[in-house]
Structure 1
Amino acid sequence: MRRFATGLLVGMAALFLLVRALAPSAGAWGFVRAFAESAMVGGLADWFAVTALFRHPLGLPIPHTAIIPRNKDRIGDTLAAFLRQNFLTPTVIARRMRRLDLAGAAGRFLTTPSGPGADRGRLRAGASRLIADLVAAADGERLGAMVRQWGAQRLAALDVSPILGGALSAAIGRDRHVALLDAAIDWTARTLTANETLLRGLVSERSGAILRWTGLDRTLADKIVAAVYKLMAELAADPDHPLRAKAADALIELAQRLRDDPEMRVRVNAIKDEIVASPAVGAWLEGLWEQARAALLKNARDPQAAMAGRLGELLAQLGLTLQTRPELARRLNQFARRAVVGTAASYGDGIVRLVSDTVRSWDAGTITGRLEQAVGRDLQYIRVNGTLVGGLVGLTLHGIDVLLP
C-alpha cells in the first residue's frame, strides 16, 4: 500500500509536469492540469501527515513530527488508563461475567472431556503435563517430610478415645462384636494347641514335689488342659454362653469408659502419642505420600487412562451435578464472578501498569514498527484518498474559476 500510494503521488506529479510542458492551460487540458496539481498537493500533505506520526519527514527535525516515538511513554500511560477505566472496572467485568455460564461450561467439559474438537484434548493434555511437571519438579524429600510432619500433627491432635468408644458402641449395637468374640475364642484355642507342652510344663513346675513324685502333676495338667479345651469348645458352640455375655458386658463397659472416663482418655491418648512418635508410623506416612505422588505422576502423564478410571468417573459425576443442579451452578458462577471482580478491583492497577511499563521498555523503533504494522495499511489508504480528494477539489475549483471569470 505504501508503494501504491507513493506511485499514485509520483504519477500525479508526472502528469502535472507533462501537461505543463506539452499542453496549454486552457480548455480541457486545464482541467487535467488542475486535477494533477491539486492531487499532487493533497498527496504530499497526507504523506507528510502520515510520516510525521512515526518519524521525521526526510529526516528533518521539524517540530511536532515523529509524534509516536517522542511520546511513547505518554501513549503507554494513556493506553493503560484507558484499559483501566473502560475494561478493568468492577462494573464492566461484573456485567460481562453475568453473561458467562462458567459452571455449565465446566460441567459439559467434565461430562464429555473427549468430545468433538481438538481444543479439549489439548487442554486436558496441557493441564496434565503442567501437573506432572510441577509434581516432578518439587523436592520429593522435603515434601515427604512436610507430609509426615503434617500427618503426625493431625494424629497427635486427634482425641481417639471417644472415637474408639463410639465405634465399639456402634459395633455392639449391630452385633458386630460377635465376630470379634468368635475370633478371640478361635485364637485362644489355636494358641492353646500350639503351646500345650508349655502349659503342661508350667503346671508341673508349680506342683509340689510329692505331686511330681507320685505323677499326679501330669494328671492335674491333663485335667486343666482338657477343661480349657472343653470351655473353648462350649464358647465356640454356644452363642448364649454366660462367659460370652460377660465378655459383651465388658466390651460395653469399655466403650462407655472410652467415651466418658477422663482417666481412660488420658491413658489411650498416651498410647496413641507413643505410637505416633514411633519411626514406623513416620515411615508409613512418608510411604503414603510417595505412593500418592507416584500415582499422581502416572495419571498426569497418561490423561486418557486417568479419565477412563475412577478419577474420570468422579469428574464425570461432578460435571453431571453441575448441569443438573441449577442452584449449585448459580452459586459457582456467582463465586467466579466475585473472584474475577475482586481480582480486578485489587490488582487492576498492577495489570494495567504492566501495559505502561511494557510500552516504556520498548525502544522507539520497536513501537514505531509495531504500530505501523497494525495501522500502516489504513494510513496508506489515507494518502491515496488525499491524492484523489485533492485532485477532485482542484478540479472543482478550476471549474468554478472557468465558469465565474
Structure 2
Amino acid sequence: MKIIATGMLVVMAIIYFTSKNYEEVHPALGFVRAFAEAAMVGGLADWFAVTALFRHPMGLPIPHTAIIPRNKDRIGDTLANFLKDNFLISRLVAQRMRTVDLASGIGRFLKSPSGGEGRLKFGASRLLGDAIASLDKDRLGTMFKGAVKTQAVGLDIATPMGQILQAVMAEKRHGPLIDSTIRWAYRTLDTNELVIRNIVTDRANAVMRWTGLDDRVANEVLDGLYKLLADMAADPGHPVRAKTEESLEQLANELQHDPELRQKVNEWKLEMIDNPAIASWLDGIWEKGREALLRAARDPNAAMAGQFGDALIQLGNSLQQDKLLNRQINRFGRRAVIGVVDSYGDNIVKLVSETVRGWDAQTITDRVENAVGRDLQFIRVNGTLVGGLVGVSLHILGFWI
C-alpha cells in the first residue's frame, strides 16, 4: 500500500509537469494540470499527516510529529483506563455473562469432544503434557518414594494378614494351599534325595556303613517321607493336615493378637523397606507411572475412553438436559468471572499499562503501524484523488468568476 500511495504521488507529479509544459497545445490540458497539481498537494499533505503519527517526516524534528513514539506511556495508560472503564466493570460483565450458557457449552464438549471443541481438547491435552514433562522427575520420584515409604512404615500389615488367613480358613479355601505345599515338598524331596542319603551316610558309624545299614536307613527315611506326603495328598482328614490347619488357625490369631509375633512381622516389613531391591522396584514403578501419565495426558482421546469417558458423556447430557443443574453451573460461572474482575481487574489494567511502558518506541511504532498501516495508506490514496477533484473543481470555478 505504501508503494501504491507513493506511486500515485509520483505519477501525479509526472502528469503535472508534463501537462504544464504542453498546456498551450490544448485547453483541456489545463484541467489535467489542475487535477495533478491539487492531487500532489493532497497526497503530500496526507503523507505528512500519516508519517507524523509514527516518525519525524524525512527525519526532521518538526514539532508535533512522531506522536505515537513520544506518547507511548500515555497511550498505554489511556488504553488501560479505557479497558477498565468500559470492559472490566462488574455490572457490564454480569450483563454479558447472563447471555452466556456456560453449562450447555461444557455439556456439548463432554458429550461430543471430537466436534468443534476438538481444538480445546487438543490444546488442553498438550498443555497438561508439557506441564507434567516440565516438572523435575527426579525430585518428584524422590517425593513419591518418600511418601510410599512413610505410608509403609506406619502401615500395620500383621492384622490384615491374620484377618485374611482367618477368612480363608473359615471359608475352607486353604485346601488348595496345603495341596500345593505338599506337591512342593514332594518335588523338593525328590530333587534332594541324594543329599538326604549323604547326610545319613555321614552320620552313620563305620559298622553301619560296612554292613550297608546306612543305605537301608536312608531308604526307610525316604520311603517314610514319600508315604507321608502321598497319604496327606490323598486323605483330606489326615492327622498331619489337621495339625497343619490347627497351626494356620493359631497363626491367624497370633498375627492379630500376639505382640511378639506382630513385632517380628513389623521388623521384617522395615527390613524389606530398607532393602535396595525394594528401592529399585519403587523406581521402576515411578518411571512407568510417569510415562503412562505423560502418554495419557498427551493423548486427547485417553480421557474420553472407558468408563470414565462414559461418565463424562453422561455428565454432558445432564448439563444440557437438567435445567436446575444448568442454572447452578451458569450461576457459579457468572459469580466466578465477576469475582475475577472485582479481585484482579486492577492487576489486569496494570499489566496492560506496564507492558506498553516496557516497549521501546520502535516496537510500539511497528505494532501500531502493522495493525492500522494499510488503512492509513488508503488515506494517502484518497487524499491524492480528493485533492485532484478539488483542484479540477477550483479550475472550473475560475472560468465562472
Using the size of structure 1 for normalisation, the TM-score is: 0.63
- 1:281 aligns with 278
Is 2:313 the counterpart of 1:323?
yes
Which is worse superposed, 349-358 or 159-168?
A: 349-358
For 1:177 and 1:88, locate their aligned partners in 2 and report how far apart those are by CA, in whole Å. Answer: 72
Deviations 1:353-404 (Å, cap 9, x if unpaired)? 665555444432333233222211101222333455566678889999999x
Measured in 1, the distance between the counterparts of 2:160 and 2:343 equals 45
Distance 1:99 1:375, change over 3 A: farther
Q: Deviations over 1:183-216 (max 9, x none)?
A: 2223344445535874896799699xxx999999
- How does 1:263-274 map onto structure 2 within 5 Å? 263-274=260-271
More displaced 10-residue stretch of structure 1: 3-12 or 280-289: 3-12
- Give matches, 1:23-38, under 5 Å: none
Aligned equivalents of 1:250, 1:232: Cα separation in 2: 18
Per-residue CA deviation, residues 242-280 of structure 1 (Å, 9 max, x unaligned), is 443443343334334434555543332122112212233
Unmatched 5+ stretches in structure 1: none
Is residue 102–residue 333 contact of structure 2 (8 Å, CA) maintained in 1?
Answer: yes
Q: Distance in 2 between matches of 1:126 and 1:373?
A: 31
Q: SS at 1:283's partner residue?
A: helix
Please point out which of 364, 371, 374 is paired with 1:374.
371
What is the CA-CA distance between 1:50 and the residue it aligns to? Answer: 1.9
Residues 217 and 391 of structure 1, relative CA distance in 2, 3 Å threshold: closer
Output the CA distance in 2 between the equivalents of 1:212 and 1:40.
Answer: 133
What residue number does 1:177 align with? 174
1:255 and 2:252 are equivalent in the alignment: yes
Task: Give the Cα separation in 2 of the matches to 1:312 and 1:177.
Answer: 45
**How many angstroms apart in 2 are the aligned matches of 1:130 and 1:270?**
42
Corresponding residue for residue 69 of structure 2 = 69
Whole-Å Cα distance in 1 between the matches of residues 83 and 104 of structure 2? Answer: 21
Q: Tell me the distance in 2 between the aligned counterparts of 1:222 and 1:167.
A: 40
SS at match of 2:277: helix
SS in 1 for 2:65: coil
Q: Which residue of 1 aligns with 2:49?
A: 49
Bigger mean CA deviation after superposition, 74-83 or 365-374? 74-83
The whole-number CA distance in structure 1 between the counterparts of 2:68 and 2:131 is: 44
Mean alpha-carbon deviation: is it higher for 7-16 or for 242-251? 7-16
Q: How far, CA to CA, are the matches of 1:28 and 1:222 in structure 2?
A: 140
- Alignment of 1:98 with 2:102, yes or no, is yes
Contact 1:276 1:282 in 2 (8 A): yes
Q: How far apart in 2 are the matches of 1:270 and 1:235?
A: 34
Q: 1:154 to 1:382 in 2, by over 3 A?
A: same
* 2:236 equivalent in structure 1: 239
Query: Alignment partner for residue 160 of structure 2, among 155, 163, 167?
Result: 163
Contact 2:110 2:315 in 1 (8 A): no
- Amino acid in the other structure paired with 1:366: T
Distance 1:74 1:59 in 2: 23
Amino acid at match of 2:177: L
> In 2 relative to 1, CA 84–220 (structure 1 residues): closer, same or farther, beyond 3 Å?
farther
Contact 2:109 2:316 in 1 (8 A): no
What secondary structure, in the 3-state scheme, does the structure 1 residue paired with 2:305 have? helix
The structural deviation recorded for 1:156 is 1.9
Give the partner amino acid of 1:370: R
- Does the Cα contact within 8 Å between 2:111 and 2:316 map onto a contact in 1? no
Q: Is the 1:40–1:387 contact (alpha carbons within 8 Å) kept by the matching residues of 2?
A: yes
Encode CA deviations 1:5-30: one digit per residue, 9 max, x unaligned: 4455563896599689959xxx9999
Say which of 150, 154, 162 aligns to 1:153. 150
CA contact (8 A) 1:204 1:218 kept: no
3-state SS of paired residue (1:384): helix
Counterpart AA for 2:379: I
Structure 2 counterparts to residues 351-370 of structure 1, below 5 A: 356-370=353-367
For residues 201 and 355 of structure 1, the distance between their equivalents in structure 2, rounded to whole angstroms, comes to: 91
Flag the 1:65–1:124 CA change in 2: closer, same or farther, 3 A: closer
8 Å CA contact retained: 1:258, 1:264: yes
Q: Quick check: 1:107–1:320 contact (8 Å CA) kept in 2?
A: no
- Tell me the number of residue pairs that the alignment of Structure 1 and Structure 2 aligns: 379
- Within 1, Cα distance between the matches of 2:156 and 2:130? 39
Equivalent positions of 1:188-267 (< 5 A) are 188-192=185-189, 194=192, 198=196, 228-267=225-264
Compared with structure 1, are the counterparts of its residues 283 and 30 closer, same or farther at alpha carbon in structure 2 (3 Å cutoff)? closer
2: CA distance between counterparts of 1:58 and 1:249? 107
**3-state SS of 2:152 partner:** helix
Alpha-carbon distance between aligned partners in 2 of 1:181 and 1:266, rounded to the nearest angstrom = 26
TM-score (structure 2 length as normaliser): 0.64
